[in-house]
């Protein structure tokens, strides 16, 4: 390993994941405008998000195996270029059917970058830095929400919702191409970290791993709350509490912005203090569920602003810990397959929750009930997380920490 180069690898994986996260988060602030443009009723808006996450789920389920087989660099490049082009095409959509198909395509093409990033981190970073590296990598999801909610509402006012998809799609293509130029696989051999791009992995070992399955269910509950909030909070605040779209976007910026610092911090603290990963995950998910219930009982813009940073901590702090725990449970050789399979299970929460919250709110008109429904996910995840067996670091052969 080249010690300094691992940070270049992390930077490019982070940049690719950030842009696909921006692409995913663009739907939240753009949804109301798309509804008016394509004449989609409120209760059906969640179907577009579900279409994206369905493609994303399928991509993760099979994409992780492709990462272990073909290499992370090739998949990072294909993901960025393909997802970016699909975003540009969605920005020109004029019908509901075309829009749904393209949303599914964006998710399908973007979904592999998580597994590719986890794979790269697991082979370039030593075990004692996995929490920090995963924390930095996972800031991409919250930063994507910040960028989308900071830019899209104003861009819609200045131009229209089409411009948002054209802009972010083009940037995603550029980042994908840069990954193809700047990222490379490690040159080490004879260890568990060695890349084996010509050997098709056997996914059965991953699927038979009880702890990975439990981790998948825990993450399912977490993402039920996180992406349910990201997808629906703009619309819930504007329709349920009378907040204007730009103000709702500010709440989302604060919500996701605080997580940019929290993710690497919690990973670093767990690394330094030897706290492990399982119990911090459980604690964060319980906290997240409580704050979601509290947020659902608020009524004013000022209250939303005050609670948003506390909600952001719960919504994002568990994700770098679950990502870091994945290769420890699977072993580095199968890290891509494990990350893809586990994230596919996590994304079931993202697939299902948009289409659940819409009918709940449309039929009851209850802001608090919609958020109580979101809180059920992380609470379930915390209960399941208690049964995950976390291996001791010495249980797997480690490469020495680079100087």
Tens of pLDDT along the chain (403 residues)?
Answer: 446 888 889 999 999 999 998 988 888 788 778 777 777 766 666 777 778 878 887 887 777 778 878 888 888 999 999 999 999 998 888 788 888 888 889 989 988 888 888 888 888 887 777 778 888 898 887 788 788 888 888 888 888 888 888 999 999 999 999 998 888 876 644 444 444 445 555 556 566 678 888 888 898 999 889 878 877 787 778 876 778 877 887 888 888 778 778 888 888 888 787 777 888 999 999 999 999 999 988 888 888 899 999 998 999 889 888 888 887 877 666 667 777 777 777 777 767 877 788 788 777 777 788 888 999 999 999 999 999 887 765 444 444 334 3
d(CA 330, CA 112): 18
Please check whether residue 61 is in contact with residue 113, taking contact to mean a CB–CB distance below 8 angstroms. no
Helix axes 130-158, 245-273, angle to 10 degrees: 170
Please check whether residue 132 is in contact with residue 324, taking contact to mean a CB–CB distance below 8 angstroms. no
Give the pLDDT of residue 80.
Answer: 92
The DSSP result for 280-335, as a single string, is HHHHHHHHHHHHHHHHTT--SHHHHHHHHHHHHHHHHTHHHHHHHHHHHHH-GGGH
Calculate Rg over the CA atoms of the chain: 20
Give the pLDDT of residue 86.
Answer: 93
d(CA 76, CA 82): 10
Q: How many Cβ atoms sit within 10 Å of the Cβ of residue 192? A: 16
Residue-range domains of the chain with CATH: 5-187+199-393 (1.20.1250.20)
Give the pLDDT of residue 400.
Answer: 39
pTM of the model: 0.71
């Amino acid at each position: 390993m080249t010690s300094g180069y691992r940070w270049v690898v992390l930077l490019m994986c982070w940049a690719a994941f950030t842009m696909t996260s921006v692409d995913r988060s663009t739907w939240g602030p753009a949804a109301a405008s798309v509804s008016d443009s394509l004449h989609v009723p409120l209760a059906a808006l969640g179907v577009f998000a579900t279409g994206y996450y369905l493609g994303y789920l399928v991509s993760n389920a099979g994409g992780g195996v492709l990462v272990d087989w073909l290499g992370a660099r090739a998949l990072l490049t294909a993901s960025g270029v393909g997802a970016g082009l699909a975003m540009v095409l969605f920005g020109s959509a004029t019908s509901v059917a075309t829009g749904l198909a393209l949303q599914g395509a964006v998710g399908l093409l973007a979904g592999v970058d998580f597994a590719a990033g986890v794979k790269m981190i697991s082979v370039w970073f030593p075990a004692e830095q996995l929490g920090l590296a995963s924390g930095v990598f996972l800031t991409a999801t919250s930063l994507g929400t910040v960028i989308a909610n900071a830019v899209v509402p104003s861009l819609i006012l200045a131009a229209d919702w089409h411009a948002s998809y054209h802009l972010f799609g083009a940037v995603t293509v550029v980042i994908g191409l840069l990954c193809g130029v700047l990222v490379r696989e490690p040159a080490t051999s004879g260890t568990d970290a060695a890349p084996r791009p010509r050997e098709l992995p056997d996914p059965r070992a991953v699927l038979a791993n009880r702890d990975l399955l439990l981790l998948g269910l825990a993450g399912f509950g977490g993402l039920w709350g996180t992406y349910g909030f990201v997808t629906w909070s703009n619309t819930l605040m504007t329709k349920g509490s009378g907040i204007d779209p730009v103000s709702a976007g500010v709440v989302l910026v604060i919500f996701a912005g605080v997580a940019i610092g929290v993710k690497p911090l919690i990973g670093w603290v767990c690394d330094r203090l030897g706290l492990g990963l399982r119990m911090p995950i459980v604690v964060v998910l319980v906290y997240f569920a409580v704050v979601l219930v509290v947020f659902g009982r608020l009524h004013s813009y000022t209250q939303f602003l005050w609670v948003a940073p506390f909600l952001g901590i719960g919504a994002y702090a568990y994700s770098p810990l679950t990502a870091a725990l994945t290769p420890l449970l699977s072993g580095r050789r199968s890290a891509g397959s494990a990350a893809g399979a586990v994230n596919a299970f996590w994304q079931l929460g993202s697939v299902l929750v948009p289409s659940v919250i819409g009918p709940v709110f449309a039929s009851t008109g209850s802001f608090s009930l919609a958020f109580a429904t979101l809180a059920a996910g992380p609470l379930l995840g915390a209960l399941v997380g208690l049964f995950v067996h976390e291996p001791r670091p010495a249980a797997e052969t480690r490469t020495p920490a680079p100087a």
